[in-house]
Chains A and B, each alone.
Chain A
Amino acid sequence: MLDQTPLDYVKDLPGFERGHPHYFKDPMIDHLLEIVMMIGGELWVERDRRLIMEHLLESKGSVTQTMVEQFEPDDEMAEKLSTARDHFTKRVFGCLYDTDEHTDVGDFFNVIGKEG
């Protein structure tokens, strides 16, 4: 039998509601960072799609929306996309690291494309 004794305090605990926290004195800085992160994601979406379309054009000679949507990369292509995404992230956000070791990653995917 479920005990219905209310735990009144739970709704007051930090984290019970999602809320809209901001972290900077001026919330506009929060909003600007949110926009930057969102644009980073949307930019990667476009790049990912272009890389898939180029791959399909090279291998199949044509490309349709359905082919892109149903595209399942083989292990080699999956690895290339993963590495390209990793390098993209590091180029974009490298300034937040303590060293610059992550900021000098080139766009290797396009280099491989030219060699191919």
Chain B
Amino acid sequence: MTQSNYFVDRGMNGNTPALPSRADESFVDYVCEARNTLLHARWKQMGDHGNETLKKHDIKIEHSADCVEQVRDVIAGDMELASFMRIKRSYQEIYKDRIIGSINTQRDDWLRKLDEAETTGPGSLTYDPDFPMPDYAKVQIHIQPRGYVGDDLAGLYYDCGTQIFFGGNNAGDAWHRELAERTALPEDGKVDRILEIGCSVGQLACELKKRNTDAEVWATDISAPMVRYGHWRAIQQDLDVNFAQMASEALEFPDNHFDLVTAHILFHEIPRPVIEKTLAEALRVLRPGGTFVLWDFSSASDEKPGYGGFLGLMDSADNGEPYAPGFVTMEVEKNHRGYGLCYSVYW
């Protein structure tokens, strides 16, 4: 049921629509604040305590359902760990659920806006209602109900819901603007065509367009709800960006086509076999002398990855990150050095 007639227009918060009510906005602001205060203050301590406790129980961490169940038994016997994990999970749940519930009070209005934007520019939109969605993409990523491919408003949920990931305030896409400024361009200076793969709602693609105003910019994602919303969002900024539904492992572009290819926090969200194919595809569509800039966790297993140990395992299991453990030990940089790959780690 939509109740939009009862709400006033609350405008935009930077490039992201404000939630439909002040109450919902203040609730999620509180969750961000409380989460950051409680979890960040105790993150290292709880990580160390968790690792030591598992060691005492002779549990070797491995990414499997059996191991997670063993770890759950240990957590249940340790009130401190149980409290920490409960708070972490609950804040993620109530944050996501409040945003989705709030947006859905205006669901019909949003669906109409996205429909109207489909034939509007600048920029373009291509997607297939009958896209053969692979199973791996149906994950309830970041515990978002119906994931990123199973709800027509998933892009809007993502836009509002990732504020907690970016520390609670990414108004105006400041995070992505900084990445766009730090993105290495080809040494010969030629930047006629840019591609962002796994673009979600296209924040980095849009900032790259602002930095390279004459370039033809493409933003692709396997999720139709993401590219549909990304197209609407780019229109609000009057940006000529082309959005297309496309699997990262099957890019529908010619060889040697792009001067710059980038992927932002995509690789830890896809399984290893898909990562391998995606790397091959990204390098196929990249011209000789072009750059492929990858922004993600470290994948070097010998660098004590930030996503290891007790907290990494439980974040994977309870925060909808099933593929991250596979990526963070994959040695992408070591195995793909050269070929234009610039690996940029910011965690």
Contact = CB atoms under 8 A, between A and B. Distances in A.
A2 B247 contact: yes
A46 B286 CA distance: 53
B319 to A, nearest CB: 7
Interface in B242-301: 247, 249-250, 271, 273-274, 277
A14 B41 CA distance: 26
A45 B132 contact: no
Contacts of B322: 10, 13-16
Given A44-B27, A89-B34, A1 B86 contact: no
A29 B77 CA distance: 13
A1 B246 CA distance: 10
A15 B316 CA distance: 6
A2 B23 CA distance: 44
Interface of A: 1-4, 6-8, 10-19, 21-25, 29-30, 33-34, 37-38, 40-42, 44-45, 48-49, 52, 65-66, 68-71, 82, 85-86, 88-90, 92-93, 96-98
B94 A37 contact: yes
Contact of B134 (A7, A25, A44, A52): A7
A42 B23 CA distance: 9
Interface in B125-144: 132, 134-136, 139-140, 143-144
B135 A6 contact: yes
B76 A44 contact: no
A89 to B, nearest CB: 5
B250 A1 contact: yes
Which of A15, A30, A89 has the largest number of chain B CB atoms within 10 A? A15
B-side interface mostly: helix
Given A16-B140, A24-B79, A85-B33, 14 more contacts: A8-B135, A10-B139, A12-B65, A13-B322, A16-B320, A21-B89, A23-B76, A23-B86, A24-B82, A52-B22, A82-B33, A88-B30, A96-B42, A96-B87
B37 A33 contact: no
A69 B22 contact: yes
A42 B104 CA distance: 19
B2 interface: no
Contact of B87 (A37, A42, A82): A37
A69 B6 CA distance: 11
B33 A89 contact: yes
B236 interface: no
Contacts of B120: none
Contacts of B77: 25
